[in-house]
Amino acid sequence: MRTADIFRRKTVFSLEIFPPKRDMNESVIYSTLDELTDIHPDFISVTCGAGGGKNGSRTIRIASDIINRYDTTSVAHLPCIGLTKERAAQILDCIKESGIENVLALRGDIPDDNGVTGDFSHADELITFIRENYDLNIIAACYPEVHPESRNTVEDIIHLKNKVDCGVGHLITQLFLDNRHFYDFRENAQLAGIDVPIEAGIMPVTNKKQIERIVKLCAIELPAKYVRVLERYEDDPVALRDAGIAYAVDQITELAAEGVDGIHLYTMNDPHTAHKIYDAVKNVI
Ligand code: FAD
C-alpha cells in the first residue's frame, strides 16, 4: 500500500527500524520484527546507510520481507549522496522488483572529508529522478528545528516546499523533544503552501549517552524539562528508560490532541519500548 493513502483514513502510527550492522547476522532483525509487527503499525520504514553498498541491499531485503512475511506496508530509505544516476536506477529497479511501493528519498549526510561524488546534490534531485522514471510513492524528511545546514527557517521551508513540489506524498520529521517546535514548523509549512501530511518523528530517549549523541548530531534543543529528567535518573538505567517512555507518551498524547497527521516512532530496534509506548497511546491516536 502507498503510505499517502493511509492518511486519508486515520491518524497514522508507523515505526522505523535499522538493518543489523554488517558484521551481525541479518536474522536478528526478524525476532525484532516478530515483536514489532504485533503492534500492527500502518507501515515500517527501514533506514539505509549512505553510499548504496551492502547496507542498501539489506534495507531492500528487510523492507521486502516486511511485506511478504508480515503482511505490513514498508518503506525503504534511500540516501542519494555519492550515487550516480546509474547506481540509483539499479537500486530503484531492485526496490520495484521486490514489491516495495514506498521510498523515503534522502540526500544523506555529507561525509566529514566533504569528498562528495555522484549525480545528486540534494534530495529534490532524487525525488525528481524517481518521479520521472518510477511509479513509486515518495516520502521526504523535514526538520522542525531547521536542518543544521540551513541559515534560517525561511530558507529551510523554501527548500522543503520545492522538495514537496517535486513529487512527495508525505513528510516525516526529524525527532524533536519540545512539541512547540513541531507546531511552529507545521504552521510555517502550511503558510508556505505545503499541504501533504506531516508525520511527527518521536524518539523515546532511554539512555544518557544516546541523547547526548543525538542532540549533537541533529542539532535539536534539549528542553529544561527533559534535562531535569536526565539529571534525576542518569545513574539509574531502568528509571531513565521508564522516564523516556513516559516523556514520549506525553509528547504523542499532546500531538494527537493537536490533530497530528501521524506518529513515526524511531524504535531503535527496541520492541519492549515500542510496545510500552503503543499500549499507552493506542486509544488516543
Ligand atoms: P535535503 O532535502 O537535500 O536538505 C539538506 C539541506 O540542504 C537542508 O539544509 C536544505 O534546506 C538544503 N537544500 C535542500 N534542497 C536544496 C537545494 N535544491 N539547493 C540548496 N539547498 C537545498 N540519513 C541516512 O543516511 N540514512 C537514512 O536512512 C536516513 N533516514 C532519515 C529519516 C528521517 C525521517 C530523517 C528526518 C532523516 C534521515 N536521515 C537519514 C538523515 C538525512 O539524510 C540528513 O538529515 C541529511 O543531512 C539531509 O537529508 P535530506 O534528505 O533532508 O536533504
- Where do the DSSP E strands lie in 18-95? 44-46, 74-79
> Lowest-confidence range among 76-85, 164-173, 229-238, 263-272?
229-238
Residue of the nearest CA to atom 49 in ligand 1? 107
> Lowest-confidence range among 29-38, 108-117, 195-204, 228-237?
108-117
Q: Domain containing 125: what range?
A: 3-281
pLDDT in tens, 3-19: 999 999 999 999 999 99
Q: Looking at residue 54, what is its pLDDT?
A: 60
Q: How many domains does the chain fold into?
A: 1
Residue of the nearest CA to atom 38 in ligand 1? 141
Asked if residue 160 lies in contact with residue 192, where contact means CB atoms within 8 angstroms, the answer is yes
d(CA 107, CA 141) in angstroms, rounded, equals: 9
b vs e for 247-284, b when ≥16 Cβ sit within 10 Å of the residue's Cβ? Answer: bbbebbeebbeeebbbbbbbbbbbbebbbbbbebbeee
Locate the ligand 1 atom nearest the alpha carbon of residue 48 and give its number: 28
pLDDT at position 53 over 80: no
Please name the residues in contact with 82: beta carbons below 8 A apart, sequence gap of 6 or more. 50, 51, 52, 108, 111, 116, 117, 118
d(CA 259, CA 10) in angstroms, rounded, equals: 11
Is residue 145 annotated as part of the catalytic site, yes or no? no
pLDDT in tens, 73-119: 999 999 999 999 999 999 999 999 999 999 999 999 887 776 678 99
Prediction pTM value = 0.97
Q: Looking at residue 206, what is its pLDDT?
A: 84
Strand partners, 173: 142
Q: Is the CB of 149 under 6 A from ligand 1?
A: yes
CATH number at residue 114: 3.20.20.220
d(CA 177, CA 248) in angstroms, rounded, equals: 8
Residue labelled with grid coordinates 529528567 = 229
Task: For the chain, state the CA radius of gyration.
Answer: 18
Q: Is the CB of 201 under 6 A from ligand 1?
A: yes
